[in-house]
Amino acid sequence: MASPRAAVILAAGQGTRMKSALPKPLHKVGGKAMLDWSIDLARAAGVERVIVIHGPQGAEVAAAAQARGCETALQDKALGTAHAVGCAKQKLAGYSGELIVLYADTPLIQTDTIINVFKALEGGAGVAVLGFEAAEPGGYGRLIVNENNELQRIVEAADASADEKAVRLVNSGVLAADSALLFRLIGAVKNDNAKGEYYLTDVVALARAEGEKAVVVQGDEAEMLGVNDRADLARAEAAFQARKREEILRNGATMTAPETVFFSHDTKVSSGVTFEPFTVMLEGVFIGANAHIRSFSHLEGATIEAGAVIGPYARLRPGAEIGPGARVGNFVEVKKARLGEGAKANHLSYIGDAEVGPGANIGAGTITCNYDGFDKHVTVIGAGAFIGSNTALVAPVTVGAGAMTGSGATITHDVPDDALAVARAPQVNKDGWAKKFRALKAAKKTAKNNKTKE
């Protein structure tokens, strides 16, 4: 039987370079906090226990971790990565199994990559380090391997000789070992180095000295991007978007300009969907088969069923449910409302807190007046109803199945099935009135002009 797996997620750094009141691990990529990416990654790789290490300013981080069912431990001073992992020792007293160290600022690492690191332990390695060939090794720790490709030690950039600096195989920061071994090695780490920190990377040489094997599991640089500032955050977002688009395209969606279509971590897209350029899907969007999302539409928390057409210029807010084949056109906002099969709201409307029956037609400029300043009220529109242009539906109100409202109506009472509701002042035509009005005005203007010339 495979041994148990636990993870320590390091999130205690100050993240000063983010220049942000929000702690770095809570900044989002693809609409999901970087901390959550790390927690989900650990769990997807079969980790049962997750311990998040936070700093003294990290109360928000700890609360977010606990909300996700993680344990937390405080590192009261940032004395280095080995010290940070050591802060999980008490929590893991009595735990026996594999332990992996992850960071809360590397949101792009994939599950299979982490599973490969665990596999290396199961293949007999005492310590396994996730490494990669860096285009620019810069500030990364260098992985020094022997002729058999066994990892000898890790040298931090600040401590590296010129020869060592030339090494392009570098440390991602992810490291796994048997839990008891790792805590024992951490106990022996010293801080006599350029930064005066307790480096987690020192456990490699210490393990070798004990006769343990250390290995590098090589990953793809594209997954390893670490976020230090908001320029990095933007790069991570771009990488996430590129990956998500690729996945959605391969699953059978069409995009003519994929670089302008934006998804969230949880966007679900069925096959045959078309995204026109410049469309945005925030969290909680599901799009059914063959639906069509037209340009400049903005969707959040919305379910779009098969064959529906959204936009151009539509806004779907949380709780919007657009039924099969329904249509939401330009400058239409839908919030917490269901449009039944084949219903249409094609122009300039607000549909909030509403239930619109199948086949109903909502005319241009229709507004559900759902809010009285205190409470929200529901509008019900029956199947096949026809709402005339510029109708104000003052909720709570029901328009029956097959009923009609005359344009410009302000509907404050329920409308029975198949009735017509007209609610506006009757029209009066005054013959010749406009002509007389113009003549009067023109005469007055002439008189005034003549007076000023005198």
Return the number of the residue (24 or 344) whose C-beta is nearest ligand UD1: 24
- Binding ligand UD1 (rule: CB under 6 A), the pick from 140, 263, 275, 313 is 140
**CA 168 to chain CA mean position, Å:** 33
Verify binding: residue 132, ligand UD1, rule CB under 6 A. Answer: no
Total residues binding ligand UD1 (CB under 6 A): 27
- Binding ligand UD1 (rule: CB under 6 A), the pick from 6, 12, 125, 397 is 12
> CB of residue 13 vs ligand UD1: minimum separation in angstroms?
2
Strand (E) positions, 88-168? 98-103, 127-133, 142-145, 151-155
- Binding ligand UD1 (rule: CB under 6 A), the pick from 38, 113, 171, 349 is 171
> CB of residue 168 vs ligand UD1: minimum separation in angstroms?
12
Verify binding: residue 173, ligand UD1, rule CB under 6 A. Answer: yes
- Binding ligand UD1 (rule: CB under 6 A), the pick from 4, 46, 97, 226 is 226
Q: Which long-range contacts (CB under 8 A, 24 or more apart) does 21-24 make?
A: 22/60, 23/57, 23/58, 23/60, 23/61, 24/104, 24/105, 24/227
Verify binding: residue 81, ligand UD1, rule CB under 6 A. Answer: yes
Verify binding: residue 17, ligand UD1, rule CB under 6 A. Answer: no
State phi, psi for 303 to the nearest 5 degrees: -110, 125
Angle at 189 between CA 185 and CA 190, to 5 degrees: 165
Return the number of the residue (106 or 368) whose C-beta is nearest ligand UD1: 106
> How far apart, in Å, are the Cα atoms of 367 and each of 179, 305, 354, 357, 411?
61, 23, 11, 16, 10
Rg (CA), the chain: 32
> CB of residue 101 vs ligand UD1: minimum separation in angstroms?
9
Tokens 């003294």 correspond to 56
Tokens 């599901």 correspond to 286
Pattern 180-199, ligand UD1, x by CB under 6 A: -------------------x
Return the number of the residue (80 or 324) whose C-beta is nearest ligand UD1: 80
* Residues taking part in catalysis: 347
Return the number of the residue (207 or 381) whose C-beta is nearest ligand UD1: 207
Verify binding: residue 288, ligand UD1, rule CB under 6 A. Answer: no
Structure tokens at 411: 């509907």
Question: Which residues is 309 bridged to in the sheet?
Answer: 292, 327
Please tell me the distance from the alpha carbon of residue 307 to that of residue 267, in angstroms, as a whole number.
17
Q: How far apart are the first and last CA of the chain?
A: 111
Please choose, out of 33-41, 78-86, 110-118, 334-342, the segment that lies near ligand UD1 by the rule CB under 6 A: 78-86
Verify binding: residue 72, ligand UD1, rule CB under 6 A. Answer: no
Verify binding: residue 103, ligand UD1, rule CB under 6 A. Answer: yes
Is the dihedral angle over the CA atoms 394, 398, 401, 403 positive or is it negative?
negative
Report whether 179 contacts 48 (CB < 8 A): no
CB environment 65-99: b (16+ within 10 A), e (fewer)? beeeebbbbebeeebbbbbbbbbbbebbeebebbb
- Binding ligand UD1 (rule: CB under 6 A), the pick from 75, 370, 390, 391 is 75
Report whether 49 contacts 39 (CB < 8 A): no
Verify binding: residue 170, ligand UD1, rule CB under 6 A. Answer: yes
> CB of residue 172 vs ligand UD1: minimum separation in angstroms?
6
Structure tokens at 436: 């007389």
Verify binding: residue 141, ligand UD1, rule CB under 6 A. Answer: yes
Verify binding: residue 37, ligand UD1, rule CB under 6 A. Answer: no
- Binding ligand UD1 (rule: CB under 6 A), the pick from 5, 27, 28, 83 is 83
Return the number of the residue (53 or 114) whose C-beta is nearest ligand UD1: 53
Verify binding: residue 364, ligand UD1, rule CB under 6 A. Answer: no
- Binding ligand UD1 (rule: CB under 6 A), the pick from 78, 115, 289, 383 is 78
Binding residues for ligand UD1 (CB under 6 A): 10-13, 53, 75, 78-81, 83-84, 103-105, 140-141, 154, 156, 170-173, 199-201, 226
